Amino acid sequence: MVQRIDVTAADGVRLAAWEFRDPPAEPRQPAVLLLHGLMGRAFHWAGTASWLGEHRRVVALDQRGHGQSEHPATNGPGGPGGPAGPGVLRGLSGPTGFGAPPPGAGAPPPSLGREAFVADAEAAIEQLGLGPVVLIGHSMGALTGWQLAARRPDLVQALVICDMRASALGEASQQEWEEWFRRWPLPFPTQDAARRWFGEDDPRVERPDPGRGAFFAEVMHQAPDGWRPLFSRRQMLTARETWVHDAHWEELAQVRCPTLVVRGLDGELGRAEAQEMVRVLPAGQYAEIPDAGHYVHYDQPAALRAALEPFLEGVAGMASR
């Protein structure tokens, strides 16, 4: 059973939340909210949700501009609301969808800022009656999770941070991403071609990475001229602009609930930084997944489960006291 539940954001953007199985008649553990990362979608969590849902209610959210959620209207890059169609990306010029931004485009619009993403998670918890939840986030979704936990501790009972850095990444990182987006050979002739490019042929891939290929294949949809991403690449850059220049240690230190920091051994979050995050957290724990990169839940789903289950059991034990 896969059920879509609509959530309305504070600014009116329509968000799609998903349950991948019927919740248990008598949940024995706190509900879980799953947040994907930048360019992800709720269905990336389907495998994780299937076992999580054995003892608790589990909801995954398509964040704004992703999956089946509405693309927020912006007056800058990214164009008006709604998914980007075939051809050039809405609001941009040139065959790759990366023309110059319109005059006056500067700071990211509020509809793609950090506040909006955090408010969306807050709206999902409150409108669906989930709180206080265990919030499990990957990459950008993890950042959203710890920002919400810091601001609304009443809504978050425990937190899992999957491969997200607390340090600033800087302008060079943002420029690298824009150049990377330009190299995407869109449209892909088939979904398998997209899987192959992201998993093998992308210059950023040092060795074959089937988990990465599968991750990106699942965010492609069939347009009239071939396979294209469900999201606007310009909107992804705009959303990313709101966190890459800043460090997020201060907000992390404000998270009071039990928090598990998970990193793939070959992921983007280094061991030293991950262990410092655990030290900064008042109730931090650490888990490392061997033979996994950034897309931990795709690379090693069984190992991730083995890391999560004892943490979740501990949280449930605390809740029952």
Q: What is the pLDDT of residues 85-96, one digit of tens each?
A: 332 333 333 333
- What is the rounded distance in angstroms from the CA atom of residue 108 to the CA atom of residue 129? 31
CA-based torsion, 120, 126, 128, 133: positive or negative? positive
- What is the rounded distance in angstroms from the CA atom of residue 138 to the CA atom of residue 134? 13
pLDDT of res. 81: 36
pLDDT of res. 25: 78
Degrees to nearest 5, angle at CA 267 with 261 and 269: 50
pTM score above 0.85:
yes
Query: From residue 214, how far is each of 50, 205, 237 by CA, in Å?
Result: 18, 14, 22
Instruction: Note the helical H segments in 110-190.
Output: 114-127, 140-151, 171-182
Q: Is the peptide bond before 132 cis (omega within 30 degrees of 0)?
A: yes
**86-90, 123-127, 188-192, 224-228: which has the minimum mean pLDDT?**
86-90
Token pair listed for 104: 């006056």
Residue type at 199 in one-letter notation: G
Domain spans of the chain, in order of start:
1-72+114-167+247-321, 86-108+176-245
Long-range CB contact pairs, 202-209, < 8 A, 24+: 204/180, 209/293, 209/299
Tell me how long the chain is.
Answer: 321
Q: Where is 287: in which H helix or E strand? A: strand 284-289
Instruction: Note the helical H segments in 158-209.
Output: 171-182, 191-196
Which backbone phi and psi does 233 adopt, to 5 degrees?
Answer: -60, -35
Mean pLDDT value of segment 14-25: 90
Chain mean pLDDT for the chain:
89
Just give the CATH number of 1-72+114-167+247-321. Answer: 3.40.50.1820
For 279-310, the pLDDT digits (tens) are 999 999 999 999 999 999 999 999 999 999 99
